[in-house]
Every structure is written in C-alpha cells, then in structure tokens.
Amino acid sequence: MNTELLSARVLSIQPSPSMAANALVVELRAQGRDIINFTIGEPDFDTPEHILQAASSAMHNGDTHYTSTSGTPALRQAIVRKLARDNDLHYGLDEVVAGSGGKHIIYHALAATLNAGDEVIVHAPYWVSYPDIARLNEATPVIIPGDESNGFKLTAEELERAITPRSKWVILNTPNNPSGAVYDRAELLALAAVLRRHPQLLVMSDEIYEHFVYEDARHLSIVNVAEDLKARTLIVNGASKGYAMTGWRLGFAAGPRVLIAAISKLISQTTTCPSSISQAAAVAAFAGDQTPIAEMREVYTQRRQRMLEQLSDIKGLRCLPPQGAFYIYANVSGLLGTVTPDGQRIESDTELVAYLLQEGNVATVSGDAYGMSPYLRLSFASSLEVIDEGCRRIAQACQQLR
C-alpha cells in the first residue's frame, strides 16, 4: 500500500513532534545510548497510592464494563465538585463530559463544531497538536506569533486583528505549554472585552497544567473573570498532569450543554466511553486526598529553580522563568551561527537539537515544533540528579561551539 491511498486529511499533518522526540529517545536507549531526556511532557512521579487502590477495587468489584458515553455519574459528580472546589466554577452534570485524555476531548470538540473553511486562532508558542487537530477537521489554523518581551502572552490587540468572519475558535492555554505563561486577571479581562465584540467566536481554555504555578502566579480561567462568556467557553482539563496519570488517559471538558452533548455523541461513535478503570481512578483523584498535588508542586518548584540556575550560566542561552507548567522555553538565538567541532554551522533551533543529541546525548524539542523559533523546550519533570547531568552535558556541548 502506498500513500496515494491515504486521505488528504492525514497527509496534511505530521506526527506529534513531542511524541516523536520521546520515541527517538526510547529508540536510542534501546541501542545502548545514555540519553538524558528533557523532551518528556509528563510527571516522572508514580500515580498516588489512593488512586491505585481505587482502580484496583474497581477491577475486583466488577467495574470492567462499558459506562455511560459521557462518563459515570460518580466521575461527572467528582468533576463538578472539583471545578467548584479548585476553580470556583459551577456546572451541572450535563455540562461535563469525560474522554480518553485531554487531547481526545479537544479533537472531538473541534470535530463537533468545525466546517471546511473555518478558522481556529492559536497563539504561538502553542502546544504542538492544536494546529494539526484543526487541519484534521478541515479548518485553517491562524497562528498569532508570540513575543518573549511580554511573557509569550496573547494580547487583546493581537486577538482583535486575527478575528475574521470565518473565525470559529480561539484557543487559550494557561498555564502554557511550552512557555509556562500564566494569564492574570487583567490580561484575561482584556481578552474577554474583545471576545464580547465577536459573539460567533468559541473559546477553548486548556487548563491541564492548572496545579503547577510558581511564585506569585495564580491560575484563573477566563470564566472566572468573565462569567458571561461561560455560554461559549469549553474548559479542557484532566487527570494526566496534576495527578501523574498520563497513561490512564482520562480527560474532561466543562461547557455549554449543546456542545457537551455533541462531544458525547462523537465519543459514542468512536471510543464508546473512557476506560471504566481509569474513570474509577479519576474519581479518587478529583474527590480524594489532594496532598500529592502540593507535594509535586513543591518538588517542581525546586527543579525549576535548579534548571534555571544552570541554564543561565550557559553562554548563548536566555531563559524567561516560567510562571507555570514544568518546562523552560529557552531562547537560543545566541547560539545560531556557531560552528560545531566537525565544522557544521548551527543555523536553526532544529539543528541545535540534533547537535545536542549527537554531541551531548541530551534530547530536547525545538521551538519550531511549537511555532516559535529559535527556542528549545526543556522539561524539568525529572529528578535533580538528571537535571544536573543534563545541564552539564548541554553546557559542555555548547562550550565546543565556535
């Protein structure tokens, strides 16, 4: 079979760059290479014990069957209470839906609403999958370039300029992957003022990193500051990041009943429902002991500081301290134009990524994957020992550039 038999939709996209980078690490390690992996977009912690126990109990009590398409009543109730407790957001059971991960929810939300020719506004740097999920649904991603000088945040003026009669969605991601940007109340209010002038525009608020904010930053949803936008805002979240449950594949959305019903309809024709075991585990995550979140946040705070300190000592790198998530988006413009020991000129962040992998055995992801170069995304979801060794290798490799 050749690619001519594949659809134009699938040919229009690339595999997820972050997943591809991690897969390469796995392959190189299988070959015997000692690779430090800073590509990973998941907690390195194990899922907390009380969540594991809930999953075990579900399996042994026979909760191994199909559930309601939108999630069990227990899970949806836990989500509703979590949103009220953690976010001061109030939804009914018919305004929430669970899916097989946050990405699953995002795909179905766009599939439920987009028509050919619609536009999805995405601010760079962006999570790698937003533009391609839009393309898969025959829409056009409209990319707004970011600016490091304002903390990589979308401004009201930029949003206003990007909106056209074909605009259907704007995607907000706070805390942001990859930049770590966290929008404050004033910034969200300014965006809300623009959105009120364009009632045809839906808002997707991806809040998957909500629990990991640092120093004076505080996570807020746009619905917290502009409740009138609740009727056209979809909040996307899940268990993956905050509860170290990436492999459980359990995400959720809260939003308008019509949209939630449409997403549920699509789930009924695709995955039927999320895993019953993962749902039982997520009930324990959202409704149970929240102490592990605070413990993980404290560890990430230490790791963030350690990586910032070590990267800032490397000539040619510039790091804006992230306000949230667990990545550093390092500016590498100072390393472009340098020459490797074997005479190759580094002309892009993609070439720098390849050099660090080859010369330093350190895997990173290029800013190009997130729509904004020249940057590297480095995850600090690793132990302090791994961070120390990885940064040492990067420093050594960069010192060899001339």
Summarised one tens digit per residue, pLDDT across range 331-369 is 999 999 999 999 999 999 999 999 999 999 999 999 999
Phi, psi of 196 (to 5 degrees): -65, -25
Beta bridge partners of 254: 96, 235
Mapped onto helix, strand or coil, the DSSP state of residue 270 is coil
> Could you give the CA distance from residue 208 to residue 240 in angstroms, rounded to a whole number?
8
Per the structure block, which two tokens stand in for 33?
Answer: 């290479």
Helix (H) or strand (E) holding 379: strand 375-379
pLDDT tier, 41 (very low <50, low <70, confident <90, very high otherwise) = confident
Helix (H) or strand (E) holding 98: strand 96-99
> Could you give the CA distance from residue 4 to residue 237 in angstroms, rounded to a whole number?
37
Residue 13 has a pLDDT of: 84
> Could you give the CA distance from residue 279 to residue 271 in angstroms, rounded to a whole number?
14
> Could you give the CA distance from residue 180 to residue 207 in angstroms, rounded to a whole number?
12
Q: What is the DSSP string of 316-343?
A: T-EEPPPSBTTEEEEE-GGGTT-B-TTS
Contacts of 147 (CB under 8 A, 6+ apart): none
Centre a 10 Å sphere on the Cβ of residue 52 and count the other Cβ atoms it contains: 13
Mind listing the domains of the chain with CATH numbers? 3-46+292-399 (3.90.1150.10), 49-288 (3.40.640.10)
Any idea what DSSP says for residue 213?
B
CA 100 to each of CA 127, 252, 272, 388: distance values in angstroms, whole numbers, following the listed order? 18, 8, 10, 35
CB of 123 closer than 8 Å to CB of 158: yes
CB of 171 closer than 8 Å to CB of 159: no
- Mean per-residue pLDDT over the chain, rounded: 96
Phi-psi region of 152 (alpha: psi -120 to 50; beta: other; left: phi over 0): left
Summarised one tens digit per residue, pLDDT across range 96-128 is 999 999 999 999 999 999 999 999 999 999 999
With vertex at residue 127, the alpha carbon angle to CA 47 and CA 10, rounded to the nearest 5 degrees, is: 105
With a cut of 80, say whether residue 164 has pLDDT above it.
yes
> Could you give the CA distance from residue 141 to residue 118 in angstroms, rounded to a whole number?
9
CA 236 to each of CA 104, 362, 387: distance values in angstroms, whole numbers, following the listed order? 10, 32, 30
Percent over 70 (pLDDT), the chain = 100
One-letter amino acid at 25 equals V
Residue 19 has a pLDDT of: 78
Residue 12 has a pLDDT of: 87
Look-up of token digits 């002038």: 197
> Could you give the CA distance from residue 22 to residue 364 in angstroms, rounded to a whole number?
9
> Could you give the CA distance from residue 105 to residue 378 in angstroms, rounded to a whole number?
26
Summarised one tens digit per residue, pLDDT across range 268-324 is 999 999 999 999 999 999 999 999 999 999 999 999 999 999 999 999 999 999 999
Residue 25 has a pLDDT of: 83
Contacts of 170 (CB under 8 A, 6+ apart): 120, 121, 159, 163, 195, 201, 202, 203, 204
